[in-house]
A and B are shown apart, each in its own frame.
Chain A
């Protein structure tokens, strides 16, 4: 590369970085600055360094606010996310295995119904009615089933594509060697799905953790609060203390940041594979 070309490329880098920095990094710096201020300073909405840096004090205030409501919310969200994602992974892998290996009328109906599940928005009030009939309304278990139902189509899609690349001869050979169907699945197929599984775990965890509409409709009430709702209900409670509102935003964004730092590759691979096959 000639020197001139190198400098030309450097300019492109610098410009891109400045534009992207202003548009995509400044809002996050703003969140952190706001979360670090005193309430009087925060109410000015200025993009300025806080005179007293009290991010950690603010976070502790938020965590302890209203009988440790935030800690309860973090706990509930963790249960919700772990429970839903475990079920999604297990059930969708089993279903995708059958849907990929078998053919016929049942399977083709299942395929088209599942695709519809990716596109059609859920019917909210009838779902509430149904949950009430099953005594699952306002319960964490109820919401877990809902999240599983909404997450299954995507996960089946990704798993099915992956299973398609595993030769059938492998299952047949295992059966001939005397393995039962369950053993074939758990000891032959599932270990080969590790990368798809990773993708689904990461993508679905983010989706369930960030879900706002689900808890809003199906899990109202202070006992069952999840993190997305804490932030939403704090808008009205914290109108005079924007520093705490933003400290709350920092707390609930941290898990996403951790996911991002560790699993960015899987997430990108996941959203791409799911979307391209769909």
Chain B
């Protein structure tokens, strides 16, 4: 059988006149072209356009080159710079909380819990629900006087805060809802990380100590890859987040919860297309500057199990 196949391969090689490996013929480049064209036209080209149009005053019909005016306006207007700062706060807070909550939770859900499948499903469900629906529901639940959350707090004799109406709190309240919605995803990744740790490590730990030792000295160091993934993905998600903030606060009260994406949308609505696009470029740069070094750092510290 094997020799028969080999002779057929040799024949096939002999019949192709090119020195080219005969197998490459069965992987024609045109298979790849439809995807490449759509991706290039609808993603890459607009991205490249953005760099030029961010330097213009732009009405979509014609554009006037104005150099770095949009950027200097972006970086001097306090409303716009605060959007930049809020974006970073939001991304750091959501990714931090997600990792701090999801890892112990994943540990619990890989332990002796009888209902772990059920609990995992319940936590995961919000991941699939429309962000707009979640945003609307929580903006009602977070109503200061009649909302369910503050009604529960009132039972303990304390009056709850104005979650979305107070400028000091609005951004953090939205971030908490973001954590609520994304926790299932982070937990599932952590569970996968914990399950990939070879059983021998746990056997060794059983001799040495209890649950905390196991968590601190095995789970944390050895599910490092999953932890990095959770941080990276929720950080990227946090920097790009728009839907939840827009449905819950519209960036308000005032500009208290404006992030880059909501600023981009507001400038777009107001017809400042050049400025909006400059905001978009600032967002690219922010994502790239933060994510690539982070990814490189994480890759260098990844472990093989």
Contact = CB atoms under 8 A, between A and B. Distances in A.
A148 B42 contact: yes
Contacts of B23: 168, 171-172, 175
B255 interface: no
A119 B26 contact: no
Interface in A44-91: 44-47, 87, 91
Contact of A24 (B8, B122, B143): B122
Interface string A116-142: 010111111111111010000000000
Q: Ordered nearest first, which 5 A-B pairs have the shortest CB separation?
A: A123-B50, A149-B42, A95-B35, A126-B49, A126-B46
Interface in B8-29: 8-9, 12, 23-29
Interface in B110-125: 112-115, 118-119, 121-125
A120 B26 contact: no
A184 B26 contact: yes
A275 interface: yes
Contacts of A16: 108, 113, 115, 119
Interface string B256-297: 000001001100100001001100110110011001000000
B177 to A, nearest CB: 10
Contacts of B137: 27, 30-31, 246, 249
B50 A276 contact: no
Interface residues of A, number: 96
A245 B44 contact: no
Contacts, number: 259
A110 B36 contact: yes
A40 interface: no
A149 B128 contact: no
A210 interface: yes
Interface stretch (B91-99, B154-162, B200-208, B240-248): B240-248
A257 B49 CA distance: 39
B65 interface: no
B43 A149 contact: yes
Given A106-B29, A156-B35, A212-B131, 6 more contacts: A46-B146, A95-B32, A97-B31, A124-B264, A249-B130, A256-B128
Determine the main DSSP class of A at the interface with B: helix
A193 interface: no
Nearest to A251: B133
A120 B284 contact: yes
B111 to A, nearest CB: 8
B38 A181 contact: no
Interface residue tally on B, bucketed by range? 35 or more
Contact of A117 (B43, B53, B129, B151): B43
Contacts of A268: 124, 188
Given A125-B268, A235-B136, A271-B188, A119 B287 contact: yes
Contact of B130 (A10, A117, A228): A228
A252 interface: yes
A260 interface: yes
Contact of B126 (A24, A101, A102): A24
B148 interface: yes
B235 to A, nearest CB: 10
B305 interface: no
A271 B161 CA distance: 36
B146 to A, nearest CB: 5
Contacts of A156: 35
A230 B92 CA distance: 32
B122 A20 contact: yes
B46 A130 contact: yes
Nearest to A17: B115
B280 A121 contact: yes
B170 interface: no
Considering residues A168, A212, A227, which has the most beta carbons from chain B within 10 angstroms of its beta carbon?
A212
A44 B145 CA distance: 10
A34 B138 CA distance: 13
Contacts of A242: 140
A156 B32 CA distance: 11
Contacts of B5: 173, 176
Contact of B35 (A12, A25, A94): A94
B209 interface: no
B100 interface: no
A162 interface: no
A253 B129 contact: yes
B200 to A, nearest CB: 22
B128 A24 contact: no
Contacts of B36: 95, 110
Nearest to B148: A47
The residue among A17, A132, A184, A227 with the most chain B CB atoms within 10 A of its own CB is A17
A102 B25 CA distance: 10
B82 interface: no
B47 A122 contact: yes
B85 interface: no
B104 to A, nearest CB: 12
A10 B277 contact: no
Interface in A232-278: 232, 235, 242, 245-246, 249, 252-253, 256-257, 259-260, 264, 267-268, 271-272, 275-276, 278
A149 B38 contact: yes
